[in-house]
Structure formats: C-alpha cells, structure tokens
Amino acid sequence: MANQSTVTEFLLMGFSDDCDMQILYFVMFLVIYVLALTGNFLLVVAVILNHHLHAPMYFFLANLSFSDVCFLSTLIPKAMAISLTNNRLISYAGCAAQVFSVFTFGGSELALLTIMAYDRYVAICHPLQYRLILNWDACMQIAAASWLTSMIHALLQTVIVFQWKFCRSYRIEQFFCDIPQLQKISCSDTRISQILILVVGIFIDSFCCGFIFASYGYIFSAVLKVPSVQGRYRAFSTCTPHLMVFSLFLSSAVFAYVRPQSLSSHTLDLLSAVLYTVLPPLLNPFIYSFRSKDVQKGVRGMLKK
C-alpha cells in the first residue's frame, strides 16, 4: 500500500483475530445494543404517550435518547458484522460517514446536556417564568439549533480530516473510524488540521462545560436558600440524573482525547473508545429511569397498557 497514491478502503482491526473471541464480542455488542435500544425506545415512547411528561425537560430528554440510539447505530452494527463475518473492510465513503455521524451525535449529546442544564436553571431559579421562557416554540428552536450546530461542526471536522492523504497504511486500529487513528496512517502534514480541530473542539467544549458549571452554580446557590430540607431534596433530586449523565459523558470523553500520549496503547485506545461511544448511550436511559419517579410512572403505565 505504501507505493499507492491513495487508500480507497480501510481495515477496521477491532478487538481480536481469534474466532472464539470474535463470537464473544459479537454477543457482548448484541446485548449492549438491544439493552440500549430498549431503554432509549421506552423512554422516548413514554415521553410521547404520557401527558404528564409533556414538559421541556422530558422533551430534551427524548431528543437525548434519540441521539443516543443514532450514535450507537452508526458504530455497533458494523462492529457486530465484523465480529460475525470477519470482513473488516469499510469503504472510504463509509469511513467518512462514520466520522461525520460520531461528531454529529456526540456533539448533539453535549449540546442537549447543556440545554438541559439551562432548563434546570430556569425551573429552579425562575420557576414562575419557566413556562414563559421555555415555551414550546422556544424548545423547538433550541433543539433545532443544537442539531444544526452539531451537524455543521461535524461537517467541518469531516472535511478537514478527509483532505488528508492516506498512503502509509489502510489498517485502523479501532472498531470504527476514529480521527486519532486516521491521523496515524495519514501521509499528509496534519499539524495545521490538528490545530484547527483542537481549537474548534476546545472552544465548543469549553463553552458547553462553562455554561453547565455556571448554571449549576446558580442552581446550588438558589437551592441552599430554600428553608425546608424536603424542598432542597426535591430540587437536588431533579438535577441528580442530569449531573450523573453529564459527568459520565465528560469523564469518558476526556479520558479518550485528553490523556497523555504516554498512556496510549492499543488496549487503552479501545477501552477509551468504548467508554465514550457505548457506555453513555447505554446507561443514560437507565439513570433517568432510576432517578426520576415521573419517568418510572410513565414507563410502568405504558407497559401496563
């Protein structure tokens, strides 16, 4: 491949070449995928069918579940097909589509978590104006803006990456097309592209994280002023699921992209990729179901019907 001018297909090396291990990975991915689809599907349907869940917080939660399903669906089926058939090839266009999808749905997850922090801020700090500030028109516009921004960012990152020439190798040491792995096999000078990707990523991530931390700063300040212990508990209980989901997503993404190169290895790269692509979409619906009595009530009522 080194003598060729470009690469038209890639090999996703995945986890193992051992046949027995591939079957094990297939079963693991299948279980994860079914659980994630079931949990997110139940949550979305519960929000749609139950009128007491027709509130801005649950509207954004349904968007988050939809994003999680799409996020997993861009990665898991291909990984399952590789484990089952041992056909590791992915086309150039397919690889670009995976990069675009990962940035779109990963970005939408961060955007929606930021919006949900603002929702909790308005609900707790300005309860009398909650319905006025977050009316349905505003919710629709905010959700549409988050999706559109994520897609524009994903398109920018994908165009930057696939301007590189890939002539050194066609082996991607990952179970999906990941930018750090594509960078390793590129024969182009990627320094300017790396800087641009880093600057855009830091700007967006810093804005979202700063907004979330500022929102919770105001929330905690307001909650601590509530005189009754029960009132403080109820206020904190509405924020706990969001904080858990945000912490899970942020910690796994930071571990994947910000850890030192000295800690980089094939095993750790695979582990970190699973942490930020598979774990949050799998656990998000269960975290919200376990912590939210309204969601539990909605899901139980739907299952009874």
The average pLDDT across 108-130 equals 89
The beta strand positions in 139-249, using DSSP E, are 171-172
Backbone angles phi, psi at 258, to 5 degrees: -110, -10
Model confidence at 264: pLDDT above 50: yes
What is the structure's pLDDT at 1? 39
Cβ atoms within 10 Å, residue 303: 9
Model confidence at 246: pLDDT above 60: yes
The average pLDDT across 40-69 equals 88
The average pLDDT across 196-215 equals 81
Q: What is the 3-state secondary structure (H, E, C) of 248-302?
A: HHHHHHHHHHCCCHHHCCHHHHHHHHHHHHCHHHHHHHHHHHHHCHHHHHHHHHH
Write the pLDDT tens digit of every residue in 222-234. 888 877 777 777 7
Three-state secondary structure call for residue 89: strand
The Cα–Cα gap between 80 and 17 comes to 14
The average pLDDT across 9-27 equals 81
The average pLDDT across 95-120 equals 90
From residue 151, how far is each of 41, 68, 142, 175 by CA, in Å?
23, 15, 14, 23
The structure's pTM equals 0.85
Model confidence at 145: pLDDT above 70: yes
What is the structure's pLDDT at 291? 65
Q: Which CATH class is domain 9-304?
A: mainly alpha
Strand partners for 121: none
The average pLDDT across 172-185 equals 82
Label residue 257 by pLDDT band (50, 70, 90). low
Model confidence at 3: pLDDT above 50: no
Label residue 83 by pLDDT band (50, 70, 90). confident
What is the structure's pLDDT at 143? 93
What is the structure's pLDDT at 240? 77
Gyration radius of the chain's alpha carbons = 21
Specify the range with the lowest mean pLDDT, choosing from 51-55, 63-67, 95-99, 215-219: 51-55
What is the structure's pLDDT at 168? 63
Domain boundaries, the chain: 9-304
How confident is the prediction for the chain on average, in pLDDT? 82
The average pLDDT across 157-186 equals 82
Strand partners for 12: 172
What is the structure's pLDDT at 148? 95
Q: Give percent of the chain with pLDDT exceeding 90.
A: 17
- Residue in this structure with the two tokens 């707790």, named with its chain if needed: 124
